[in-house]
Chain A
């Protein structure tokens, strides 16, 4: 089953973000990852502006998949969205 392109926004200092990346890597799911806390100010501002409607509380990690935003490291929700058994 082909997996939808998946984008994650993470912080380099956050263990839940680290766990999300590790899970996707273990499952061999291709994903794009952005370390938001190390972006240049202009890039960060632009990203936060784009992200606001999907993630008003600016919580991390956030996963964008199938046109949805999964806020936080919610493994069961993510597995379900990927069509995999939690």
Chain B
């Protein structure tokens, strides 16, 4: 009833006098029985619907629980902390693939840029020079970027699956994921290329694990 008797009014003083009389009863009931005329008065009385008193075991006083967003929480996988905080396998996938794809695109693009500079036809106008360089960049950059991106995508998918089944993350799982990725990448070329690609990807995964353990 504080919304009604919020101000300093004579009504409030009068109310206080009557309230002191049956303070004992109010303590026991949670509301002032002398004020009660109907049900909504009881409900609206301050303290009557005190959630900690209403049901102590239900934990109602913790507030609204749907604000604890599930997807906000960081991943708690053992040994799974990486360079940036991750909320799960989708974050690992997106950040890993994006970073490696961009690095591949940049490296391939720089190589194509240098190659294009070397292959500029002699005595050509400026527009043709620019076009030559751009053609070389767009030939080399996306090729390297796409392959590196696909490799990382597969690696991240396999790695997250291995982590999920084992319940933890360690370098052995990473290296195994790298070996599987390389084998899958060259799986249509025969056993020998598969072995080479597998070894190279396992080495790359091991190098990444070593780098992470150095930095972290």
Q: Do A and B bind each other?
A: no
Interface residues of B (CB under 8 A from A): none
